[in-house]
Chain A
Amino acid sequence: MLKAVILIGGPQKGTRFRPLSFEVPKPLFPVAGVPMLQHHIEACAKVPGMKEIILIGFYQPNDALSRYLSSAQQEFKILVRYLQEFAPLGTGGGLYHFRDQILSGGPSAFFLMNADVCSEFPLLEMLRFHRDHGDVHCAVVLATTANRKQSLNYGCIVESQKTHEVLHFVEKPATFVSDIINCGIYLFTPEIFTHIGMVFQRNQEEKLYSGCSWYRAEVIHLEQDVFTSLAGQQQLYVYKTQGFWSQIKSAGSAIYASRLYLNQYLQTHPERLVSSQEGGCTVNGNVFIHPTALIDPTAVVSVLLGPNVSIGKGVCIGAGVRVRESIILHGASLQDHCCVLNSIVGWDSTIGKWARVEGTPSDPNPNDPFAKINSETLFRDGGLTPSITILGCNVNIPSEVIIRNSIVLPHKDLSRSFKNQIIL
């Protein structure tokens, strides 16, 4: 029997996702029309023998999370639980803290994944690889290829070409080590806890001797504390995937991740994509429209959506509206002739007639097959880095203005055009 553990973080994490993360925990943010977590859960539920999914994080139990978990349980007919850490314990601390729960029922192995990654989730292939390679007690790290410069932003893996063992692992090195990077998706056997346990003991001893009271001994970083010492011991193996993968750290990366998942729907969930022939609006590329969204029935054909557009629950779209490379969240209203490009329009926001809401795409270089999305800083050269435009929840954009490369915080009524600004 198998289990899956998903690390969902907490409110102190995911600050690059503001202001969107003010309304909803980041793992529940809709990507390609469904909550970010759902892509993980769907992938796990497809694995034969998967009996339970455990979410670990330090969000306080809230309505949104609880409601989502119970609906996921019902829909996927699989046990889904949330275990709340008493404090942020790092990528390994919570895992260790809840090891008894994870191991209850005697799973032969379990997956561990970060919530804020977008992936094809080649879980069956990882299982097969695990059976075919090395000792049955080994751990498998899913990896992909990055370009040299960007690899420095990730965990870098040096691989034995013959055995696929991880010879060396280093998190965010200062100089180039390897272009094979860690995806944040792993397959562990219960033996992993022995190794984590040793780190835990060592930390406890250090704390005792150092006398620092603020230093929390239970915090364990899987990558720095565990993998780096496991490398080269025939305990850690790497499975390289050709499938798509991206981190989802910023709002811009949510749009990029949407594109990857919407494209995957062609194979896995074609019913979630809109086709142009349905006598509805005109569609380019892959578009998700929630069944409760309403498009002006008198002028449906004048609306042009896509590529890479997700329209949420109850969204209203007027005549002659254009949306491209954007996410329109639940309850928003797009009035006649407006144009939304490379933006995220927050819940219940309104965009007036002929208004233009536009951001700058932050996509990875399409000519480089290994390029990953950049994690740009918010400011650069004294100004706001041109990026996706984000409207928080309940923002009202008047007609005929332009909002470009800006971030608008929730519950704001704008009265004029803005460019390259954060509007509080």
Chain B
Amino acid sequence: MKALILVGGYGTRLRPLTLTVPKPLVEFCNKPILLHQVENLAKAGVDHVILAVSYMSEVLEREMRLQEQRLGIRISLSHEQEPLGTAGPLALARELLTDNDEPFFVLNSDVICDFPFEDMLKFHTHHGKEGSIVVTKVEEPSKYGVVVYEGETGRIHRFVEKPQVFVSNKINAGMYIFSPSMLNRIQLRPTSIEKEIFPIMAKEGHLYAMELQGFWMDIGQPKDFLTGMSMYLQSVRVQNPEKLCTGPGFLGNVLVDPTAVIGENCTIGPNVTLGAGVVLEDGVRIKRCTVLKGARIRSHSWLESCIVGWSSSVGQWVRMENVTVLGEDVIVNDELYLNGANVLPHKSISESVPEPRIIM
């Protein structure tokens, strides 16, 4: 089976991290975002993954070749030279997607959840129509586009974008499965799948909704990245608790790479991920944070709701909070206070940032 992952472009919402690393390769809970999806696709029987990119990255190409070998599947890159929207990339990859008449998956690259690929295949085969969309229940549906569908069959009636009054609390979760004939609906030009393709498919009775069980998050921006991390770690606690770190000094769900080094009298968690080679010196208090590979947090510092970029160094007695994001190789001097600071790579911070702002 095949899958197309809509990777897109520069990942600007996840800057400053994506200024040095292509978004698919940014580690989410110690594994590149893309790999969470690809590994699960491979497990569900997909043997060819196509990455639809609008910005070509050598780093991404190199990494995918490694993963091809490791997972024993084929990974291709489909590069759109001009922006094709959310449906255009499917038309671009038509050749690759239609060499047999099996259905194919399409995923939004920012989605994290308990991937239900096997269930999606079953559901899609059962109703036999052209398309299936995974939907998920959210608390604030009017921030998104909601899906109105028949509860019993899943047949979709219509979509409503950011409704003012309550219509439904199910939104498009960014995961689809289509029959190859669906590609006849899409031309090779900038096309929005939600606005132009889906409404027609729904009217013709060719679009069905499958409700997702379990957690779901679009981790395309730092605030949601951290929320998604907390949800994912909770799911790890349920399914593979041995992967998490427990013991004195650890609270709640904490994921620590085996090569990370932790000092004395630290209190870590809940909801913390420490990447490879990360060093926490004595007396560090850290909660609801991701610390990426090679970063160092010096003694007595206090961090909450932060992302610390690769190889960064946070000084002693620093306080960081409120979705402070440090890009790669950032140095934060001792004793500073960072509140919602968004710091670009290779920057040295020598003054406190008491109110949220971007540091270039």
Q: Do A and B bind each other?
A: yes
Q: Could you tell me if A404 and B337 are in contact, using CB atoms closer than 8 angstroms?
A: yes
Chain A proximity of B122: nearest CB distance (Å)? 48
The yes or no answer to B296 lying at the interface (CB within 8 A) is no
Quick one: which of A299-340 are within 8 Å of B by CB?
302, 304, 319-320, 322, 324, 336-337, 339
In the assembled complex, B211 has its CB within 8 A of some CB on chain A: no
Contact indicator B302/A356 (Cβ below 8 Å): yes
Q: Which residues of A contact B337 (CB under 8 A)?
A: 356, 358, 402, 404
B249 at the interface (CB under 8 A from A): no
Q: Which residues of A contact B354 (CB under 8 A)?
A: 404, 419
Chain A window 27-66, contacts with chain B (Cβ cutoff 8 Å), 1 for yes, 0 for no: 0000000000000000000000000000000000000000
B335→A320 contact, CB < 8 A: no
Whether, in the assembled complex, B300 has its beta carbon less than 8 Å from a beta carbon of chain A, the answer is: yes
Would you give the shortest CB distance from A398 to chain B, in whole angstroms?
Answer: 13
Interface of B (DSSP majority class): loop
- Interface residue ranges of A343-380 to B (CB < 8 Å): 353-354, 356, 358
CB < 8 Å neighbour of B283 from A302, A324, A356, A358: A302
Residues of B within 8 A of A341 (CB): 335
Looking at B282, B317, B354, the one whose CB has the most chain A CB atoms below 10 A away is B317
User: Given contacts A339-B317, A358-B337, is CB(A322)–CB(B285) below 8 Å?
Assistant: no
Tell me whether A336 and B335 are in contact in the complex, defined as CB-CB below 8 angstroms, given that A322-B317, A404-B354 are known contacts.
no
- Which residues of A lie under 8 Å from residue B172 when comparing CB positions? none
Give bound CA distance, A24 to B282, whole Å.
39
Residues of B within 8 A of A336 (CB): 265, 283
Interface flag for A400 (CB, 8 Å): yes
Interchain nearest-CB distance for B332 vs A (Å): 14
Bound-state Cα–Cα, A332 to B123, Å: 66
Bound Cα distance A319, B317 (Å): 12
Q: Is the CB–CB distance between A337 and B300 below 8 Å?
A: yes
Instruction: Render B311-340 as a binary contact track against A, CB cut-off 8 A, 1 for contact.
Output: 000001101010000000000000101000
Tell whether, in the assembled complex, residue B300 and residue A339 are in contact, meaning their CB atoms are under 8 Å apart.
yes
- Cα distance A319–B285 in the bound complex, in angstroms: 14
B37 at the interface (CB under 8 A from A): no
Q: Select which of A324, A337, A402, A404 is within 8 A of B335 by beta carbon.
A: A324
Q: How far is the CB of B14 from chain A (nearest CB, A)?
A: 27
Q: Which residues of A contact B319 (CB under 8 A)?
A: 339, 356, 402
- How many A residues face the partner with a CB closer than 8 A? 18
Residues of B within 8 A of A353 (CB): 285
Inter-subunit contact B300/A320 (CB<8 Å): yes
Interface residues of A in 376-424 (CB under 8 A from B): 400, 402, 404, 419
Would B282 and A302 count as touching, CB distance under 8 A? yes
Inter-subunit contact B282/A320 (CB<8 Å): yes
B352 to chain A, nearest CB (A): 8
CA distance A336 to B266 in the complex (A): 11
Question: Are B335 and A319 touching (Cβ within 8 A)?
Answer: no
Q: B285's contact among A302, A337, A402, A404, by CB below 8 Å, is which? A: A337
Question: Known contacts A341-B335, A358-B337; is A400 also within 8 Å of B316 by CB?
Answer: no
Give chain B residues whose Cβ lies under 8 Å from the Cβ of A304: 316-317
Q: Find the B residue at minimum CB distance from A303.
A: B300
Chain A residues lying within 8 Å of B321, measured Cβ to Cβ, are: 402
Chain A's nearest CB lies how many Å from the CB of B298?
A: 11
Query: In the assembly, what is the distance between CA of A322 and CA of B316, in Å?
Result: 9
Chain B residues positioned under 8 Å from A302 (CB to CB): 282-283, 299-300
Minimal beta-carbon separation of A138 from chain B (angstroms): 51
Residues of A within 8 A of B265 (CB): 319-320, 336-337
Q: How far is the CA of A255 from the CA of B12 in the complex (A)?
A: 46
**What separation, in Å, do the CA atoms of A319 and B123 have in the docked complex?**
59
Q: How far is the CA of A356 from the CA of B318 in the complex (A)?
A: 9
Q: How far is the CB of B265 from chain A (nearest CB, A)?
A: 7
What residues of A have a CB within 8 angstroms of the CB of B335 in the complex? 322, 324, 339, 341
Q: Cβ of A354: which chain B residues have Cβ within 8 Å of it?
A: 285, 300, 302
Shortest C-beta distance, B320 to chain A (Å), equals 11
Alpha-carbon gap, A419 to B339, bound state (A)? 12
Question: B280 to nearest A CB, angstroms?
Answer: 13
**A419 neighbours in B (Cβ, 8 Å):** 354
> Which residue in chain B gives the minimum CB-CB distance to A417?
B321
Knowing A336-B283, A356-B337 touch, does A322 contact B300 (C-beta < 8 A)? yes
Assembled-state Cα–Cα distance A336/B302 (Å)? 12
Q: Which residue of B lies closest to A322 (CB)?
A: B317
CB closest chain-B residue, reference A321: B300
Chain A's nearest CB lies how many Å from the CB of B124? 49
- B168 → chain A, closest Cβ, in Å? 37
Please measure, in the bound complex, the distance between the C-alpha atom of A400 and the C-alpha atom of B299, giving whole angstroms.
15
Q: How far is the CA of A1 from the CA of B91 in the complex (A)?
A: 105
A400's partner among B282, B283, B300, B302 (CB-CB below 8 A) is B302
Q: Enumerate chain B residues within 8 angstroms of A358, measured Cβ to Cβ.
A: 337
**Once the chains are docked, how many angstroms separate the CA of A404 from the CA of B353?**
12
Most B CB atoms within 10 A — which of A302, A319, A337, A404? A337
Contacts of B299 in A (CB 8 A): 302, 320
**A320 and B285 contacting across the interface, CB-CB below 8 Å:** no
Complex Cα distance, B302 from A324, in Å, reads 18
Q: Which of A262-315 contact B (CB under 8 A)?
A: 302, 304
Interface string of B29-59 (1 = CB under 8 A from A): 0000000000000000000000000000000
Q: How far is the CA of A354 from the CA of B267 in the complex (A)?
A: 11
The residue on B at minimum CB distance from A405 is B354
B262 vs chain A, min Cβ distance (A): 15
Find the A residue at minimum CB distance from B355: A419
Q: How far is the CB of B78 from chain A (nearest CB, A)?
A: 48
Chain A residues with CB below 8 A from B283, complex form = 302, 319-320, 336-337
**Contact between chains at B285 and A400 (CB < 8 Å):** yes
Give the CA-CA distance A354 to B337 in the complex, in Å.
13
Alpha-carbon separation in the docked complex, A399 to B50 (Å): 50
Interface string of B283-305 (1 = CB under 8 A from A): 10100000000000001101000
Contact string against A for B residues 333-360, beta-carbon threshold 8 Å, 1 for contact and 0 otherwise: 0010100000000000000001000000
Closest to B299 in A: A320
9 pairs from A and B in contact (CB 8 Å cutoff): A302-B282, A302-B299, A302-B300, A304-B317, A319-B265, A353-B285, A354-B300, A400-B302, A402-B337
Contact residues of A with B, CB < 8 Å? Answer: 302, 304, 319-320, 322, 324, 336-337, 339, 341, 353-354, 356, 358, 400, 402, 404, 419
Given A302-B282, A304-B316, 4 other A-B contacts at CB below 8 A?
Answer: A319-B283, A320-B300, A337-B302, A402-B319
Query: 4 closest A-B pairs (Cβ-Cβ)?
Result: A320-B283, A320-B300, A337-B300, A322-B317
